[in-house]
């Protein structure tokens, strides 16, 4: 459903008034019916279009997603990440992904799916469907803004630090691995810390670490809009290494941007919270798999009893 518009502008500066922002993000349903070219190639049947709760100038508007603001004012990360960078990165690039996804999904079955489900459906085993890049980039940027905070950086603590020490040897080694992943991602992309607790055969993508044990932390990098959701990993932290993330502040010095991100911006509190959620998700899955296994065993066991009973009957009739 469409979130209240006030949320979309709560932490912003004067990039747009609430009403103009809304209108920019939610093109009219009627106007889009004739321009659904790429989305029409998707093979999902249409469902009833949801109506927006708001009206703009008396005309009903529809939208699936709105531009979610960073959880801090656009100048809050200065001097490490400038307000100007946020104005372009969030206000232009992130906004563009939202606009494009809404155009591509309006009137298709996709507009009733969650962002995560759209990402998985349109990844399409690597043969990307048109909405994938826009959907994944919205998710990635929401996640990226929440991976930072004013006064961030430093070192994690508690269980997160324990797992980092266990899985990377030390915090310093982990930082080097993440730094290296971010620096060596050729062209545009992302570097991630993720909790790997998935089935080895994810069915949708080539698992980048199929031989690694589950229930551990991993560092991975991904090109363009790809994110660890398609490998069924639980992302915990990301660094955006598209040039638009750092060029205004650091020009071509990606390494300096990565250092500042890790030393001054990263929110280890956010990462710790995500770790809790990832572990809970993994435990829930494990319980579900155990439950299914027990049910299968019970079914098999019931079948065996039935077979013995039938055989006995058959023996009796032969005797008669
Ligand atoms: Fe970006």
308 CA to centre of ligand 1 in angstroms: 64
Q: Does residue 88 surpass a pLDDT of 50?
A: yes
Q: Is 187 left (phi over 0), alpha (psi -120 to 50) or beta?
A: left
Q: Does residue 108 surpass a pLDDT of 70?
A: yes
CB 82 within 8 A of CB 74: no
pLDDT band at 111 (very low <50, low <70, confident <90, very high): confident
190 CA to centre of ligand 1 in angstroms: 9
pLDDT value, residue 288:
87
22 CA to centre of ligand 1 in angstroms: 21
pLDDT value, residue 289:
84
pLDDT band at 52 (very low <50, low <70, confident <90, very high): very low
Q: Does residue 26 surpass a pLDDT of 60?
A: no
192 CA to centre of ligand 1 in angstroms: 14
285 CA to centre of ligand 1 in angstroms: 32
pLDDT value, residue 120:
92
pLDDT value, residue 5:
30
CB 37 within 8 A of CB 104: no
298 CA to centre of ligand 1 in angstroms: 51
pLDDT value, residue 286:
84
215 CA to centre of ligand 1 in angstroms: 29
138 CA to centre of ligand 1 in angstroms: 9
pLDDT band at 298 (very low <50, low <70, confident <90, very high): confident
143 CA to centre of ligand 1 in angstroms: 11
99 CA to centre of ligand 1 in angstroms: 15
- End-to-end, the C-alpha distance of the chain in Å comes to 70
Q: Does residue 263 surpass a pLDDT of 80?
A: yes
300 CA to centre of ligand 1 in angstroms: 52
Average pLDDT, the chain: 78
282 CA to centre of ligand 1 in angstroms: 29
Rounded Cα gap, residues 241 and 259, in angstroms: 12
- The residue among 270 and 213 whose pLDDT is bigger is 270
57 CA to centre of ligand 1 in angstroms: 33
pLDDT in tens, 232-249: 899 999 999 999 999 999
pLDDT value, residue 72:
98
How much of the chain exceeds pLDDT 90, in percent? 59
Q: Is 158 left (phi over 0), alpha (psi -120 to 50) or beta?
A: left
Q: Does residue 40 surpass a pLDDT of 90?
A: no
pLDDT in tens, 172-229: 999 999 999 999 999 999 999 999 876 555 666 777 776 667 789 999 999 999 999 9
Q: Which residues pair with 19 in a beta bridge?
A: none
pLDDT value, residue 14:
30
94 CA to centre of ligand 1 in angstroms: 7
pLDDT value, residue 1:
32
For the residues 154-181, what does the mean pLDDT come to?
A: 97
Structure tokens at 144: 């990226």
């Amino acid at each position: 459903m469409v979130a209240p518009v006030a949320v979309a502008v709560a932490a912003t500066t004067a990039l747009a008034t609430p009403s103009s922002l809304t209108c920019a993000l939610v093109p009219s349903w009627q106007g889009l019916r004739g321009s659904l070219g790429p989305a029409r190639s998707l093979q999902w049947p249409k469902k009833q279009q949801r109506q927006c709760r708001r009206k703009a100038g008396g005309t009903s508007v529809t939208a699936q997603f709105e531009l979610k603001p960073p959880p801090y004012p656009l100048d809050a990360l200065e001097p490490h990440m400038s307000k100007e960078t946020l104005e372009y990165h969030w206000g232009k690039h992130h906004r563009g992904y939202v606009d494009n996804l809404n155009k591509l999904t309006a009137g298709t079955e996709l507009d009733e799916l969650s962002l995560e489900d759209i990402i998985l459906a349109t990844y399409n085993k690597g043969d990307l469907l048109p909405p994938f890049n826009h959907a994944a980039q919205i998710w990635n940027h929401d996640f990226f803004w929440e991976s930072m905070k004013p006064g961030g950086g430093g070192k994690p603590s508690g269980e997160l630090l324990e797992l980092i020490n266990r899985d990377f040897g030390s915090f310093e080694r982990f930082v080097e691995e993440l730094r290296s992943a971010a620096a060596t991602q050729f062209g545009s992309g992302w570097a991630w810390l993720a909790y790997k607790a998935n089935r080895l055969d994810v069915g949708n993508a080539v698992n980048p670490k199929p031989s690694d044990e589950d229930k551990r932390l991993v560092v991975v990098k991904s090109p363009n809009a790809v994110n660890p959701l398609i490998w069924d990993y639980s992302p915990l932290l990301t660094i955006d290494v598209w040039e638009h993330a750092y060029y205004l502040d650091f020009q071509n010095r990606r390494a300096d941007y990565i250092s500042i991100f890790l030393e001054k911006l990263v929110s280890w509190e956010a990462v710790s919270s995500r770790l809790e959620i990832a572990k809970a998700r993994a435990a829930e899955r494990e319980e579900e798999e155990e439950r299914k296994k027990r049910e299968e065993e019970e079914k098999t066991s019931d079948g065996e009893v039935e077979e013995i009973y039938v055989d006995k009957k058959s023996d009796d009739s032969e005797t008669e």
